[in-house]
Amino acid sequence: MTQVVTPGQEPSLPPRVLFVALQGSIHAARWIECIAELGWDLHMFGANDAPPNGNLRGVTLHTPVDTRATVEPPVAPPPTPRPTPLARLLGLAGRLRRDPTGTLRHVTHRVERLVAERLKPWTAPERAPPPPKYRPAFVAAELDRFGIPREGMVPVGASGAEAWPMWSPPVLAKVIDQVRPDLIHSMEFQHNSYRVLEAIPLLQHPRPAWLVTNWGSDIFQFGYKPGHSETIRRMLNTAEFYSCECRRDLELGRAFGYTGPELPVLPNSGGFDLDHARALRGPLPPSRRRRIMVKGYDNFAGRAMMSLAVLERFAGRLRDYEIVLYSVGSRPRARAMELKASG
């Protein structure tokens, strides 16, 4: 049986948490934001190579680097030494002897340009981009050690879930061993918690306590699929903590074998700033608003193509409306562009 390290073994140090999450997700970023000011030592292992969400802050983001893909940086040529004032003066004298008219014209042009530059109204220089809100850290993936191919996807357990080689369970296991967190918090089952489950047997050190968080239909839908149901059962029998957004999923977690404490039912994004939300409300009542927003998912969790078909059917009544799509997949985006082009 795997030894477990419980949080708080070293009370003099701040708690260290390793999030295993989709680093591009606004939900993950907002959840982390809720504890970013507590002074804890926060780390994250992302699920892929997507850019981090713009709201992500206060964490060290561990990015795998393939040791076989290391390329020596090109050697920059040595800088050309600037000529001394004497050499420049001798060069100008030589040019005057060879072409006095052309040289004087060139000097006059340079003086006029310098005067014009000095007389330009002053404008503030462009500010350098702000430093990233997260701290990048790089870890050698060492894919050869585990026989992981560089191309294609790597299976994560028997559920059919997959991961890119650079973000596969053996690489995650190395990050866990390096970070040595007090707690692993995996946000979402199929991409992240499955990955932690497969990484645990590969750890070289006693594993930390583990909190798994259910997102959306992770357990309500996938729990009925044979490969997934067995993986979810193993996961909830291994993790010390389980959190979810509704009582229904807490009961499902118990049915799948979770025996840990009952955590508060909370939104996965950490909640909402209601005062800020009220400030965004416009003065018009809903009956007079002229904007329709469509979430662009078109998969098991969304039907954006169906929504676009309905909007197309009632296009004649929606001439005065603005249609906004967000989180758009490739097919809904292509269809939306076709509808826009057709008028």
DSSP characters for 243-269?
E-SSHHHHHHHHHTT--S--PPP--TT
pLDDT at 272: 79
296, 302 contact by CB (below 8 A): yes
Q: Can you say how many angstroms the Cα of residue 113 is from the centroid of all Cα atoms in its chain?
A: 47
Shared domain check, 159 and 53: yes
pLDDT at 309: 93
Cα separation, 217 vs 220, in Å, equals: 5
| Residues 280-313 pLDDT 10s | 888 888 888 989 999 888 877 788 899 999 999 9
Strands 241-243 and 162-163 come out as: unpaired
Of 255, 270, 298, the residue at which a domain comes to its end is 255
Q: Is residue 104 part of a domain?
A: no
Helix (H) or strand (E) holding 280: helix 274-280
Shared domain check, 209 and 306: no
pLDDT at 101: 74
CATH number of the domain that residue 19 is part of: 3.40.50
Strands 4-5 and 291-295 come out as: unpaired
pLDDT at 71: 46
| Domain encompassing residue 223 | 4-70+131-255
Query: Percent of the chain scored above 90 by pLDDT?
Result: 37
Banded pLDDT at 109 (limits 50, 70, 90): low
Shared domain check, 184 and 240: yes
Q: Is residue 120 part of a domain?
A: no
pLDDT at 256: 96
Q: Is residue 276 part of a domain?
A: no
Q: Is residue 220 part of a domain?
A: yes
Shared domain check, 135 and 210: yes
Q: Is residue 75 part of a domain?
A: no
Shared domain check, 290 and 242: no
Shared domain check, 288 and 244: no
- 138 pLDDT higher than 80: no
Q: Is residue 105 part of a domain?
A: no
pLDDT at 3: 47
Nearest to 212 by CA among 166, 178, 249: 249
Of 214, 239, 255, the residue at which a domain comes to its end is 255
Please, what is the end-to-end C-alpha distance for the chain in angstroms?
64
Strand ranges (E), the chain: 4-5, 16-21, 41-46, 60-65, 135-140, 154-155, 162-163, 183-187, 207-213, 241-243, 291-295, 298-299, 302-303, 322-326
| Residues 213-241 pLDDT 10s | 999 889 998 998 888 999 999 999 999 99
Count of domains forming the chain: 2
Nearest to 223 by CA among 262, 254, 196: 254
Nearest to 177 by CA among 62, 70, 69: 62
Shared domain check, 35 and 148: yes
Shared domain check, 329 and 188: no
Cα separation, 46 vs 136, in Å, equals: 11
Q: Is residue 62 part of a domain?
A: yes
Shared domain check, 304 and 162: no
